[in-house]
A and B are shown apart, each in its own frame.
Chain A
Amino acid sequence: MPRVTFHHDGGSSEAFDIAAGMNLMRAAVTNGVRGIVGECGGQAMCATCHVYVREPYLRALPRPGEDENEMLDRVAAPRDPRRSRLGCQVTLDAVADEIEVDIPVSQT
């Protein structure tokens, strides 16, 4: 089962096993993880599900699509050219089955 770890500012973290095909925003919202809002329900329309993917996990992920890339310009916390992603556009599956992300200080 894919596993996601959310790291909060200040050092605490939470890890969850999630269903294959589930995106990180949904995983955070259903588990009540603070700091991920997911206002538009995963349509790459709101940019309130911003995460910073930790370096070792970047390679297994497909690059952001055009919509995601555009919306990443709208995130509230600074955009990291490599690590910033929209949680709703990152899905865990058999290839990328483990990920650790940092939650930005602000989503709005």
Chain B
Amino acid sequence: MTTTPDTAASTPPPTADWVDPLAMQRDPYDTYDRLRDLAPVVHVPALNRYLVTTSDACRAIESDQETYSARAGGAAATMVRALGGTPMLRRDDPDHATERGPVNPPLRPKRVREAWAPLFERNAETCLAALLEKGPDEADLDHDFAAPLAAYNLVDMLGLPMADPQDVRRWSHTFIEGIGNIQDDPDIWVRCDAAQREVDAVLDDLLPRLRAKPDGSITSALANAGLTDDQVRANVKLTISGGLNEPQHMTTTIVRALGDHPEQRELALSDPARWPAVFDEALRWCSPVGMYPRETTRPAVLEGFRLPAGAALGVVVAAANRDPSAFPRPADFDITRPRQPHLGFGSGVHRCAGHWAARIAVGEIAVPLLHQRIPTLRTDALRAGNWSGWVFRGLTDLPVTW
């Protein structure tokens, strides 16, 4: 295997001292290409970590959690601080499996279709009505559709009807700010602590009721799995952080990509069986989770490059998804590419728990509905939308017209 230390045949990874995090914030893809050309794993002093940018290297990491732990310390410890507890995403098996196991059943495709899809449809109709009301001169697909829809869907799956979707959005953004708070900004921690208290207040009331009378929600599954309250809380907060921004970004990314490629839009509209491929390609082409952390538990050799124990790694799935050795013409958005696995949802035991829900809610329900109801929907050339971020990437706004 690639990770067995074999010091004779291996070299230390090259260093890239030219990487500019601010430029990556605007558009990371040139940086990803240059890094990938250099080596599969490169030391980046400006980020204080090694970035892994090829498809093979990212997969090698995900297939060996004993060497590449998700219990990443250092910068990755911000997640534990932001959420006020350790969620499944910062644990390795077998501890991870104890917390992940319970959330899988409500998120397998059959249950998603039976239990959640009718709610996703209802929520999409509600948000579509609000978008139409905004009108073609002012509508913003992000603020007026994608963000509220993601919040409504998440509230339903988590079974938090008492929570205001606006609050859920604020909590989610606050936690994500905290997860990214490597510069240790105290104001962000104050906001995270406040959001934690608000979520805890909801759960204090809800958990005893769910234990007495389980429902089909994710929170109920966690509450009835023999976990401690702290474990349940940390994982509900993880789901609030991870279950909102990404579906929101996927919705706007797909509409933007189809708007920029009218011929592919026609193809999807004339053959609805293509919608899953549209979702899949958009997720590959601009992955909303661009990078996640891992840490070596022991000295390792990754694709011929030597890593010390305790090395902080950034698994750059957004770069791996544009690896030309895995995807020909990787920068092109092309829904007709042959289907092939990519890393947009991660891979291995931490692979996104919500991947079926997101696929169905966004890819099969919300985006097709938008295009069917507003056949002339397109990006408003007069009011441009903005891409931002690299760890998490998406459009911050998407003015649309019709």
Contact = CB atoms under 8 A, between A and B. Distances in A.
Nearest to B350: A41
A58 B368 CA distance: 42
Given A30-B63, A40-B351, A46-B351, A108 B100 contact: no
A40 B105 CA distance: 14
The SS class assigned to the A binding surface is loop
B110 A41 contact: no
Contacts of B347: 39-41
Given A29-B63, A45-B351, A37 B105 contact: no
Contacts of B339: 76, 106, 108
A27 B293 CA distance: 26
A9 interface: no
Contacts of B63: 29-30, 38, 41
B110 A42 contact: no
B201 interface: no
A64 B191 CA distance: 47
B108 interface: yes
A43 B100 contact: yes
Interface string B100-131: 11001101111000000000000000000000
Contact of A67 (B62, B108, B348, B349): B108
Interface in A3-62: 29-30, 37-46, 48
A44 B1 contact: no
Contacts of A43: 97, 100-101, 104, 349, 351
A97 B158 CA distance: 42
Nearest to B108: A70
Contact of A41 (B1, B107, B341, B351): B351
Ranked nearest first, the 7 interchain pairs of A and B with the lowest CB-CB distance are A41-B349, A41-B348, A40-B351, A108-B339, A70-B110, A108-B341, A37-B341
Interface of B: 1, 62-63, 97, 100-101, 104-105, 107-110, 339-341, 345, 347-351, 353, 355-356
